[in-house]
């Protein structure tokens, strides 16, 4: 399985979208500051993830969730959570 995921920084409240084959390992890498895009922004919390059968689908889903339509989808899908945590 491959995973598309969204992290929320506990430090600055910003979100990061990515994909991986090993979600637990990747999440640990983010929190251990081993990723250039999220370095110094942790600790993180996983706020959303989806499982896909193959890498192509996971990459496509990541690309969609980073687009304007995808961001609106996530805001709608996580409306209560994002409102409660002050993201919207």
Residue 85 above 80 pLDDT?
no
Residue 76 above 90 pLDDT?
no
- pLDDT, greater one: 32 or 87: 32
H or E element, residue 6: strand 2-9
Q: What is the dihedral of CA 45, 55, 2, 51, to 10 degrees?
A: 90
**Could you read off the pLDDT of 21-59 as tens digits, one per residue?**
999 999 999 999 988 888 888 899 999 999 999 999 999
Confidence of residue 82 (pLDDT cuts 50, 70, 90): low
Closest of 81, 84, 83 to residue 6, by C-alpha = 81
What is the pLDDT, as a whole number, of residue 3?
A: 98
What is the pLDDT, as a whole number, of residue 79?
A: 77
Domain boundaries, the chain: 2-84
Rounded Cα distance between 76 and 78, Å, is: 6
Closest of 40, 38, 41 to residue 26, by C-alpha = 38
CATH 3.40.120 for domain 2-84: no
């Amino acid at each position: 399985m491959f995973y598309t995921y969204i992290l929320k920084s506990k430090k600055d409240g910003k979100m990061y979208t990515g994909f991986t084959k090993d979600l637990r390992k990747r999440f640990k890498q983010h929190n251990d500051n081993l990723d250039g895009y999220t370095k110094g922004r942790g600790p993180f919390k996983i706020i959303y993830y989806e499982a896909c059968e193959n890498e192509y689908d996971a990459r496509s889903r990541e690309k969609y969730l980073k687009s304007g339509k995808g961001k609106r989808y996530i805001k709608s899908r996580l409306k209560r959570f994002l409102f409660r945590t002050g993201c919207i």
